[in-house]
A and B are shown apart, each in its own frame.
Chain A
Amino acid sequence: MTPRHETSGWKNPGWNVWGLLPTHLIMLCTLIIPIGIIILVSFSTRGPYGGFDYVFTTAPYKQILFNEGWSGELEFNPQYLIVVGRTLVLATVTTLICLLLSFPVAYFISLQKASLKVVLIYLVTLPFWVSMIVRVYSWIIILGNDGVIEKTLRFLGVIDDMDSLLHGDFAMLVGLVYSYIPLMILPIFASIEKLDGALVEASHDLYGSRWTTLRRVIVPLSQPGMLAGSILVFVPCLGAVLEPMILGGGKTMMMGNLIQLQFGPARNWPLGAAISIVLMASVLIFLLWRGLRAVRKESRELAA
């Protein structure tokens, strides 16, 4: 290589710094430093008119678990713990449902002719471009009182009257699955596309039934896509705000709208900051766990 090739791109290495400076400055000022402040706020005292004062206390974290009585005695109150638990359960169930629904669809799309494949993938991604709030809202018309489901069931003579399906865990789950399922289909599809069809045929030649082939060949080989998809679905579900606000009603909350509430009408910033830290920690633990599993698997494969 001639020296000139080594400097392809630009001659001046200072460009490396100047090119990265704007993005890094923006992230530093608007995210990295403010997240440090969130940590500080989560250990601060609530201000008399909302906001906060920098006086060290662990009260916000205690408040997640306990109610404080008049004389300062702590009484266990699981109200916020239930919200944290519900968020984790809903995000897990959503991810599992998305996995189950996405696999057959992604597999089916991968078998189609190239031209049809492009159209189907376009159809999977299209709802993602359509306003999220509109897509979540549409379920009010379907699940709500006198909604599409109730009307249909009444028309079929199954029921006379039913309670609204809105405002609860079920409605939130429906909304979450509907919102994030395209993010699961796309990576699984990409994984299946890479899969060597000869392996499927080899399995059949060795008298593996369709079911065995699916279980022993296709599913294991599309695992990278499933892993990527689970991360793409699980993480935004943990922080979901719209689904619980619109479909969950005011009472059944998730971490996202609980935080929103503390920084909005409830005006308890330190508690909101403490719940934000719990949320960030959940995401971090999940990502580390998945990352560790991927690394362990790799090293096992290397050893084998």
Chain B
Amino acid sequence: MTAKSDVRRYPGFGLFSILFFVYLYLPISVVVFYSFNANRIVSNWGGFSLHWYTAALSNAALVNAVKTSLFVATIATVVSTIVALMAALVLVRGKQVRYRRVSETVVNLPLLLPEIVVAVAVLILFSELGISNGLLKLTIAHTTFCIPFAFLPIRARLQGMDSDLEDAARDLYASSWTAFRRVTFPLILPGVFSGAMLAFVISMDDFITSNLLNSGGATTLPVYIFSLIKQGVSPQLNAISTLIMIASVVLATAAFLVQRKK
């Protein structure tokens, strides 16, 4: 390193950062480590075993919770991504949009409120309307709070895209729809993809809303995990957690690689 860049370095920051990354990953690693523990008592090491993974995979309640979560997350992701895309197109590309700032605030409203308040709002709404179907309640609530997470990456991508390309398509007599389908959409696809991915993960991970709405026989994965945590630490819980972490890392890496490919 040259002396020039040296003055910017601070002694100790490197060591501090390394310790920080250890801190960030140690708790997760502990869970993974203990998931291979043959002993029923988590903190006593009883040799290596995959027993808890086979037990987890044959756990019917867990499989049902995963199914519920996947169902809710898939519908919430599709709906929220489509409506967020429509809103983003208007808010970034539309001309003479009235109350643009207010509209953006409305779209991002779930981010401005503490999630427990959002959860209480939908709970009261469903009780007033008399909706008791658990899956329906979850899907509506998840769609609502997924919208801003789908919206923000799409908007960022649209803002970064040159509108001259669309104008060029229009100059070549493409209709609005053709210009969107052949020019705009392919260009913002990575943004749409990361928005959908983010919405999916947020929905899969949601605990606060799902727990408050938990009735009508629809238990999502995080709510099921919480019920296991209440029963106490167990190696099977660690195995389930590890499986979830593997799935999250795969999704995060995919999203990361798509975003880097510009």
List A residues at the B interface (Cβ < 8 Å).
4-13, 15-16, 18-20, 22-24, 26-27, 29-35, 37-38, 41, 51, 101, 104-105, 107-109, 111, 118, 122-127, 129-135, 137-142, 144, 146-148, 151, 178, 181, 197, 200-201, 204, 210, 213-214, 235-236, 238-239, 241-242, 245-246, 255-256, 259-260, 263-264, 269, 272-273, 276, 279-280, 283, 287
In contact, A16 and B96 (Cβ under 8 angstroms): yes
Q: How far is the CA of A71 from the CA of B171 in the complex (A)?
A: 80
Asked whether B116 lies within 8 Å of A8 as measured between CB atoms, the reply is no
With a CB–CB cut-off of 8 A, which chain B residues contact A204?
7
The residue of chain A having its C-beta at the shortest distance from the C-beta of B111 within the complex is: A235
Chain B nearest CB from A230 CB (Å) reads 15
Question: Does A104 lie within 8 Å of B10, measured CB to CB?
Answer: yes
Interface segment, B16-24, B49-57, B60-68?
Answer: B16-24
| Chain A CB within 8 A of B70 CB | no
B262, CB-defined interface residue at 8 Å: no
Cβ–Cβ contact A142 & B27, under 8 A = yes
Between A and B, 6 residue pairs with Cβ closer than 8 Å are A15-B94, A33-B125, A127-B24, A130-B245, A137-B31, A246-B226
Q: How far does the alpha carbon of A277 sit from the alpha carbon of B207 in the complex, in Å?
A: 21
- Across the interface, which residues of A come within 8 angstroms of B189, CB to CB? none
Chain B 87-119: CB-based contact to A (< 8 A → 1; otherwise 0):
101110111111000010011011011111110
Q: With A126-B249, A200-B7 known to touch, is A273 a contact of B107 (CB < 8 Å)?
A: no
* Contact residue among A13, A123, A151, A272 (Cβ-Cβ distance under 8 Å from B21): A123
Q: CA of A18 to CA of B89 in the docked complex: distance in angstroms?
A: 11
Instruction: Indicate if B136 sits at the interface (CB-CB under 8 A).
Output: no
Bound-complex Cα distance A134 to B248 (A): 11
For residue B205, give the distance in angstroms from its CB to the closest CB of chain A: 5
The answer on a CB contact under 8 Å between A35 and B121 is yes
Q: Of the candidates B9, B42, B166, which one forms a contact with A141 in the assembled complex, judged by CB atoms under 8 Å apart?
A: B42
**Judging by beta carbons under 8 Å apart, are B16 and A134 in contact?**
no
Return chain A residues, CB-CB under 8 Å to B122.
30-31, 34
Q: Are A141 and B207 in contact (CB under 8 A)?
A: no
B residues whose Cβ falls under 8 Å from a Cβ of A? 4-5, 7-10, 12-14, 16-17, 20-21, 23-28, 30-31, 34, 42-43, 82-84, 86-87, 89-91, 93-98, 103, 106-107, 109-110, 112-118, 120-125, 127-128, 140-141, 143-144, 147, 151, 163, 166-167, 170-171, 176, 201, 204-205, 207-208, 211-212, 222, 225-226, 229, 233, 237-238, 241, 244-245, 248-249, 251-252, 255-256, 260
In the bound complex, how far is the Cα of B63 from the Cα of A213, in angstroms? 56
For residue A218, which residue of chain B has the nearest CB?
B8
Q: Within the complex, what minimum Cβ distance (angstroms) separates A46 from chain B?
A: 14
**A-B interface, 7 closest residue pairs, ranked by CB to CB distance from nearest:** A239-B114, A34-B121, A19-B90, A138-B27, A129-B252, A22-B83, A9-B93
Query: Smallest distance from the beta carbon of B29 to chain A beta carbons, Å?
Result: 9
Chain A residue nearest to B242 in the complex (CB):
A134
Kindly identify which residue among B24, B27, B116 contacts A259, using a CB–CB cutoff of 8 Å: B116
CA A26 – CA B110 in complex, angstroms? Answer: 11
CB neighbours (8 Å) of A279 from chain B are 114, 116-117
State in angstroms the CA–CA spacing of A71 and B116 once bound together.
34
B16–A108 CB distance below 8 A: yes
